[in-house]
Amino acid sequence: MKKYIAFWSILGKDMKTYYLKPPNISWGIIFPFAWTLMFFLRSEGAVEIREILPGVMSLAVLFGTTSMLSVTITFERRSRSFERLLLAPISLNLLMLAKTSGAIIFGILNALLPVIIASLVIDLSGINWMSAILSIIFIAVTSTFLGLFISVSASEVFEAQTFSNFVRFPMMFLGGLFLPLERLPLFLRFLSYLLPLTYGVDILKTAINGNGIIPSGISFLVLVGFSLFLFLMSINNIQKRWIY
């Protein structure tokens, strides 16, 4: 029971300290809102809005999770508050799951705003909501663990943000968010399949528009594999760099 109390205490503390602060809430709303409006206003018809909706949702999740986590993890490492968390009666794996759960929740909530805006403009009937929701959850988990991996490899907040941008911006253009993979040159398409976001976006495209090119079952398996790999690599880095 103590493990669950510690888990929820850490999650609750992070939500109160970081995620529920007015600047973060407003940023979490304004960023996806701005991206949504930017793309939606350029669309002339309902079909185009549905076409770009998977990319906008994925982008909101990606930036929401990685940006927040790079701040929380790196800041607590510098302030040495992370060392106090190691005294909690839970394993390191469960501790890091507690630290990342807030970013996952934040990312999932970020994805809802584009859907709400789109629902006010077009008819969203015919969407496979179960698959779409699962895809958003998997994108949030994978993006969060990617942010965790970057954060534990940096010593300053600006370093973590720089590394995050180095990964995020290629995903924007190579992950199939707005430019179909089949239109990319062959060598760039190969790089696209090495990015976890590619598979999450493809699931969303299948769920919303039925035009994904990768079987959803394979995409889910790949996302699970990426999540496990990034989480275990992050734990390994923490043990080597932070725990002496």
Quick: pLDDT tens for 23-49.
556 665 676 667 666 666 665 555 577
The closest alpha carbon to 14, from 104, 99, 78, belongs to 99
Q: How many CB atoms lie within 10 A of CB 1?
A: 5
The pTM of the whole model exceeds 0.75: yes
Quick: pLDDT tens for 120-149.
878 888 888 999 999 999 999 998 888 888
Which residues, other chains included, contact 141 with Cβ-Cβ below 8 Å and sequence gap of 6+? 104, 223, 227
80: helix, strand or coil: coil
Could you identify the residue written with the tokens 């924007």? 172
What's the rounded Cα separation, in Å, for the pair 109 and 93? 24
Could you identify the residue written with the tokens 């006010």? 120
Which class for 187: exposed (0-12), middle (13-18), buried (19 or more C-beta within 10 A)? Answer: exposed
As a whole number, the mean pLDDT across the chain is: 79
Domain ranges of the chain: 2-241
Amino acid at 118: A
| Confidence (pLDDT) at 220 | 92
